């Protein structure tokens, strides 16, 4: 019988499931993914016997305003792969870079613009809530009137039947 070869990344992921947050036991994980519990236990034992290594997840760097400005200035004339390699070299995530760039373009007025937009949306929401409440009152009024006329029609039918 041939054994299936699993990648190192897969084994690491399984060890993480066995040891990380919300860890599961090897029997349970084996049933879940269809791998023998003995394999999972062996991978866990091998991982624990390895010497400790530095974490793959670097600590998030805290950038000062000056550092952000220098990074933006350094990247101002770059685009495409040049920009990508510059950001990698400097350890800057593209999302962070874009957020810094937009904040700089807004010249610090981003929060004022956001506040104005929130106020406008709040006014629009209040207007729509008022219109919805008015519509609800009109519906109730219409149902009340309809039921009143229906009762009146019922009374008329009974009166006409009695007179016949």
Residue 2's pLDDT band (boundaries 50, 70, 90)?
Answer: low
Map out the domains of the chain as residue ranges.
8-49, 65-105
Residue 110 CB partners (closer than 8 Å, separation 6+): 102, 103
Q: For residues 86 and 104, give the distance between their C-alpha atoms in angstroms, rounded to a whole number.
A: 19
Cβ neighbours of 14 (radius 10 Å): 21
Q: Are 40 and 16 in contact (CB under 8 A)?
A: no
- Report, as an integer, the average pLDDT of 52-78: 76
Over the stretch 82-119, which tens digit does the pLDDT of each residue have?
888 888 888 888 888 888 877 777 665 556 667 787 88
Q: For residues 33 and 80, give the distance between their C-alpha atoms in angstroms, rounded to a whole number.
A: 41
């Amino acid at each position: 019988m041939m054994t299936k070869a699993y990648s190192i990344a897969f084994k690491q992921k399984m060890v993480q499931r066995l040891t990380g947050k919300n860890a599961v036991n090897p029997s349970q994980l084996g049933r879940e993914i269809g791998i023998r519990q003995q394999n999972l236990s062996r991978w866990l034992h091998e991982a624990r016997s390895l010497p400790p290594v530095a974490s793959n997840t670097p600590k998030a760097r805290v950038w000062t305003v000056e550092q952000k400005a220098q990074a933006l200035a350094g990247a101002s004339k770059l685009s495409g792969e040049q920009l990508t390699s510059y950001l990698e070299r400097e350890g800057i995530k593209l999302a962070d870079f874009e957020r810094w760039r937009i904040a700089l373009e807004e010249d610090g007025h981003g929060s004022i613009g956001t506040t104005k937009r929130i106020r406008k949306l709040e006014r629009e929401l209040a207007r729509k809530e008022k219109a919805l409440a008015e519509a609800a009152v009109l519906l109730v009024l219409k149902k009340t009137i309809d039921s009143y006329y229906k009762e009146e029609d019922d009374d008329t039918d009974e009166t006409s039947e009695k007179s016949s």
